[in-house]
Amino acid sequence: MSIGHLYRHSLKARITLFTLLIFVSGIWSLAFYAERMLRRDMQAQLESQQFSTVSLLASEVDQDLRTRLRALESIAAVLSPVLTADPQSLQQALQGRPVFLDLFNGGAFITDVHGTVIASLPESLGRKNLNFLDRDYIHVALRDGKPTIGQPVMGRQLRSPILGMGIPIRDANHRVIGALAGVTNLGEPNFLDRFANAQYAKTGSYLLVDPRHRLIVTGTPRSRTMEVLPARGASPILDRFIDGFEGSEVFVNPIGIRVLASVKRIAVADWYAAVALPTEEAFSPIRSLQQRILLATLAAELLASQIAGEPLPLPKDLVRAIDPMRYAHKKTFTEETSNEN
């Protein structure tokens, strides 16, 4: 529609059209501003909720891990005199405490000061006389005399991802004379399943991450267990999480999905727990609002243009979206006319 064509219309039509342009411009400006403000406020609210959720889960996992370490320490104190006086009776002493199987679904074992297994529960796993000094949860317990939660690895006997915890056994003079280890089989139902099987929104996920080794301990989906995270530099925000940041960020995760993620440290294991929600789901109400504003604006344009007696020119894509049958009819008529000529 040319300017000259517009001026051939009545004054009323021109005023109506110019008013419409101002009205439409105002609607789009208001929609843009509202979208920005709504997105900011919604993100802040989601971050707060997410961080509360992940903090609660991190606290529960921390408590579960501490409970198992305390159980190991308690049994190590009882077994210390036995290891000192009669190492041959350790197997019987360990079998007298089947509660270990409730806490560690992968069993438990005792090593000497060189890391060789001298007693194991259950005995059927065949760990006895094997050396586990290469496992961090054993060599740290023996070398440094510290309780430790090891790196998730593939179990030699279980042939499945395992999580080992080790406690030093000391004699009356506080010298380290062996180690007691508890093993969790991550491939079987275990105490971390409450975390991994939890549902967060429709498409959200949970993860437990060992940042020292850039390794996923477990999470949703379970197929991500033992997944190695990208090397440093591939994702600056992921590097922030690994370096100790606690809080929320929007970023593209290692499997290529843009997510709103919140993380919280688990001090006892030097891990972190993460909750992630795809932004497509997180901000879907904003997209719905944008669509409603678009439809309302188009309706206002069409109504006002009819009142003014002059249809407004609309982009071809919008015409096709609003009235596909009319567009198809117009296309068919044009093609038939062309063929006749």
CATH number of domain containing 259: 3.30.450.20
Cis preceding linkage at 236, omega within 30: no
Q: Is the pLDDT of residue 269 over 80?
A: yes
User: What integer is the mean pLDDT of 191-210?
Assistant: 87
Backbone angles phi, psi at 182, to 5 degrees: -120, 140
Distance CA(88)–CA(145), nearest Å, equals 23
Confidence of residue 300 (pLDDT cuts 50, 70, 90): low
CA 290 to chain centre: 28
Partners of residue 178 on adjacent β-strands: 112, 169
Q: Is the pLDDT of residue 180 over 70?
A: yes
Q: Is residue 14 included in any domain, yes or no?
A: no
pLDDT at position 6: 46
> Does residue 229 or residue 157 have the better pLDDT?
229
pLDDT at position 333: 40
| Whether residue 125 is found in the same domain as residue 205 | no
Q: Is the pLDDT of residue 322 over 50?
A: no
Q: Where does a domain end: 282, 309, 335?
A: 282
Q: Is the pLDDT of residue 341 over 50?
A: no
Nearest to 243 by CA among 282, 270, 216: 270
Question: Which tokens in the block code for residue 191?
Answer: 């105490």
Q: Is the pLDDT of residue 1 over 60?
A: no
pLDDT at position 194: 80
* pTM of the entire predicted model: 0.76
- Domain containing 263 equals 39-63+190-282
Strands 215-219 and 153-154 turn out to be: unpaired
Nearest to 105 by CA among 53, 154, 164: 164
| Whether residue 56 is found in the same domain as residue 131 | no
- Quickly tell me which residue has 């090593």 as its tokens: 111
Distance CA(81)–CA(14), nearest Å, equals 101
Alpha-helical runs (H) found in 3-110: 3-7, 11-85, 90-95, 100-103
Asked if residues 261 and 251 have their Cβ atoms less than 8 Å apart, the reply is yes
| Whether residue 59 is found in the same domain as residue 204 | yes
Confidence of residue 306 (pLDDT cuts 50, 70, 90): low
CA angle 100, 106, 111 (to 5 degrees): 75
Q: How many domains does the chain have?
A: 2
Distance CA(264)–CA(245), nearest Å, equals 8
Q: Is the pLDDT of residue 57 over 80?
A: yes
Among the ranges given (29-43, 150-164, 237-251, 309-323), the one the predictor scored with the smallest mean pLDDT: 309-323
| Whether residue 138 is found in the same domain as residue 244 | no
Q: What is the biggest distance separating any 2 CA atoms in the chain, rounded to whole angstroms? A: 112
Among the ranges given (208-217, 280-289, 298-307, 330-339), the one the predictor scored with the smallest mean pLDDT: 330-339
| Whether residue 166 is found in the same domain as residue 270 | no
User: Assign residue 320 a region: left if phi > 0, alpha if psi is -120 to 50, beta otherwise?
Assistant: alpha
Q: Count of residues for the chain? A: 341
Q: Is residue 22 included in any domain, yes or no?
A: no
| Whether residue 50 is found in the same domain as residue 69 | no
| Whether residue 73 is found in the same domain as residue 169 | yes
Nearest to 111 by CA among 183, 40, 8, 196: 183
Question: Which tokens in the block code for residue 178?
Answer: 């062996």
pLDDT digit string (tens) for 7-32?
Answer: 455 666 667 667 777 777 777 777 67
Distance CA(39)–CA(193), nearest Å, equals 34
Nearest to 248 by CA among 288, 207, 277: 277
| Whether residue 98 is found in the same domain as residue 162 | yes
Partners of residue 169 on adjacent β-strands: 178
Cis preceding linkage at 211, omega within 30: no
| Whether residue 129 is found in the same domain as residue 269 | no
- Helices (H), strands (E): how many in the chain? 11, 11
Among the ranges given (104-108, 110-114, 280-284), the one the predictor scored with the smallest mean pLDDT: 280-284
Backbone angles phi, psi at 36, to 5 degrees: -65, -45
